[in-house]
Amino acid sequence: MKLFAPFKIAGRALRRNKMRSLLTMLGIIIGVGSVIASVSITTGATKQVEDKVASLGQNVVTVFSGNFTSGGMRGGWGSAPTLTIEDARAIKNEVGNVVAVSPEVRDREQILANGLNWNTQIQGESPDYPQIRDWDIASGSMFTDGDVRSLGKVAVIGKTVVDQLYGSDDPVGQTLVIRNIPFKVVGVLAAKGFNLFGQDQDDVVLIPYTSHMRRITKRTFVNSIMVQAASKDTINLVQNDINTLLRDRHKSAEPDFTVRSQLELMQMATATTRIMSVLLGAIASVSLIVGGIGIMNIMLVSVTERTREIGIRMAVGARGRDILIQFLIEAVTLSLAGGMVGIALGMISAQIVAATTGWPTITPFAWIGIACVSSAGIGIVSGFYPAWKASRLDPIEALRYE
């Protein structure tokens, strides 16, 4: 009873002034609600970005030709003729902790099949490519090292290309014409969806990079080199070693290539959402502080209004700490109830945002706990001074209070 009694008293006191209690809670409700809503939205966005980056592949380090920071004419990643097949080979042979390498050559071409045509991305890759990208072959198989050596006229195609050119027919074994050269379709990639930049990753035709460079584009350089590190822990090591190796090989003062790891991409991609969540968090904390001040204000009013009640309680034997606890519990009940309502409202508004905008929202369980603990904390902090004031009242003075 002794433990339970203060809650009973607090509940009764709060119910007595329903409207006032509700208005007091509003600050906390809005504060916690906006924290939960913004955390849900940014967590959902971050998760989505992370999923996209993860769909890039497993422990991927990418070498692009050209350099961001070099001056003069800049054509963007992969445009400068600086990376060669030999570079790719050197990476595979000389850099430790590398499990797979694929030189990449990219080009857009009009392709023909079944009397239909389609404009798509033609990518020259090595047979390691599906492994690096963690990309399954839905039917047929990937081309082989033999195909690379023999400049094989073989292709593995994406889901979108299948839909556009073959419909419901099985394309494996059929012919695909690129720049008047017939390629045999040997495999179909599993559907992968859109990437981080909103591009359809399934709108692609993979052919051996040698075939691409000799038969189609007649180029001697590659756009980029995809490298797979042995593990997540070795990504940075591999990245550094590639940097050292290529700098040594290219012997240029300024590096004419850029090495990016998946981790960096992840960080770059989530930077915006991080800034967003910091901003939203700052706004939410301000409203929580305002809510706390509201509670303190109402508790001070309440202590003054109930001076006589405090005197009566003291006269029948309530000690200072009994009164302190009573008012503290009242403040905590206010803020905690506000917090609960805020959590519910925050989650509901996140759901509404998800339903109307299509952004996925996730409410992390930990944040519900954080919201509960911090609203209780706000109650304690903002209720302490009023409660302390109440506990220090002189019983005789308090009884005489009109």
Partner 1 sequence: MQTRPVIELAEIHKVYRTGEVDVHAVRGVSLDILPGEFVAIMGSSGSGKSTLMNMIGCLDRPTGGKYLLDGIDVSTLDRDQRAVIRNDKIGFIFQGFNLLSRTTAQENVEMPMLYNRHRVSAQEQKERARSSLELVGLGKRADHKPNQLSGGQQQRVAIARALVNKPSLLLADEPTGNLDSQTSIEIMGVFQKLNEAGITIVMVTHELDVARFTKRMVVLRDGKIVTDELVRDRMDAAVELGKLKAAQEAVKLA
Residue 1 sits in the site that holds partner 1 (CB under 8 A): yes
Question: Which of 176, 228, 171 has its CA nearest to residue 207?
Answer: 176
By beta-carbon proximity to partner 1, the closer residue of 5 and 275 is 5
Output the smallest distance, CB 21 to partner 1, in A: 15
Pick one of 149, 274, 308, 357: the residue that binds partner 1 (CB under 8 A): 308
Output the smallest distance, CB 20 to partner 1, in A: 15
Structure tokens that stand for 27 in this block: 């600050």
Output the smallest distance, CB 335 to partner 1, in A: 23
Residue 315 sits in the site that holds partner 1 (CB under 8 A): yes
Residue 390 sits in the site that holds partner 1 (CB under 8 A): no
Output the smallest distance, CB 51 to partner 1, in A: 55
Distance, in Å, from the CA atom of 82 to the CA atom of 84, rounded to the nearest integer, reads 7
Tell me the window of 5-13, 78-86, 97-105, 162-170 that interacts with partner 1 (CB under 8 A): 5-13
Tell me the window of 1-9, 69-77, 222-230, 372-380 that interacts with partner 1 (CB under 8 A): 1-9
Axis crossing angle, helix 18-54 with helix 320-357, rounded to the nearest 10: 50
Output the smallest distance, CB 13 to partner 1, in A: 10
Tell me the window of 68-76, 242-250, 306-314, 364-372 that interacts with partner 1 (CB under 8 A): 306-314
Residue 5 sits in the site that holds partner 1 (CB under 8 A): yes
Output the smallest distance, CB 54 to partner 1, in A: 57
Residue 10 sits in the site that holds partner 1 (CB under 8 A): no
Output the smallest distance, CB 319 to partner 1, in A: 4
Residue 16 sits in the site that holds partner 1 (CB under 8 A): yes
By beta-carbon proximity to partner 1, the closer residue of 193 and 320 is 320
Interacting positions 317-376 with partner 1 (CB under 8 A): 317-322
Tell me the window of 32-40, 257-265, 313-321, 339-347 that interacts with partner 1 (CB under 8 A): 313-321
By beta-carbon proximity to partner 1, the closer residue of 95 and 314 is 314
Residue 316 sits in the site that holds partner 1 (CB under 8 A): yes
The number of residues that bind partner 1 (CB under 8 A) is 23
Q: How many C-beta atoms surround the C-beta of residue 305 within 10 A? A: 11
Pick one of 103, 113, 313, 367: the residue that binds partner 1 (CB under 8 A): 313
By beta-carbon proximity to partner 1, the closer residue of 96 and 320 is 320
CB-based burial label for 97 (10 Å; 0-12, 13-18, 19+): middle
Pick one of 112, 137, 138, 312: the residue that binds partner 1 (CB under 8 A): 312
Residue 314 sits in the site that holds partner 1 (CB under 8 A): yes
**Mapped to the 3 state alphabet, what secondary structure does the chain carry?**
CCCCHHHHHHHHHHHHCHHHHHHHHHHHHHHHHHHHHHHHHHHHHHHHHHHHHHCCCCCEEEEEECCCCCCCCCCCCCCCCCECHHHHHHHHHHCCCEEEEEEEEEEEEEEEECCEEEEEEEEEECCCHHHHHCCCEEEECCCCHHHHHCCCCEEEECHHHHHHHCCCCCCCCCEEEECCEEEEEEEEECCCCECCCCCECCCEEEEEHHHHHHHHCCCCCECEEEEEECCHHHHHHHHHHHHHHHHHHHCCCCCCEEEEEHHHHHHHHHHHHHHHHHHHHHHHHHHHHHHHHHHHHHHHHHHHHCHHHHHHHHHCCCCHHHHHHHHHHHHHHHHHHHHHHHHHHHHHHHHHHHHHHCCCCCCCHHHHHHHHHHHHHHHHHHHHHHHHHHHCCCHHHHHHCC
By beta-carbon proximity to partner 1, the closer residue of 316 and 366 is 316
Distance, in Å, from the CA atom of 129 to the CA atom of 274, rounded to the nearest integer, reads 32
Axis crossing angle, helix 320-357 with helix 5-16, rounded to the nearest 10: 60
By beta-carbon proximity to partner 1, the closer residue of 226 and 314 is 314
Output the smallest distance, CB 6 to partner 1, in A: 8
Tell me the window of 67-75, 215-223, 336-344, 394-402 that interacts with partner 1 (CB under 8 A): 394-402
> Rule CB under 8 A: which residues touch partner 1?
1-2, 5, 9, 12, 16, 308-309, 311-322, 395-396, 399
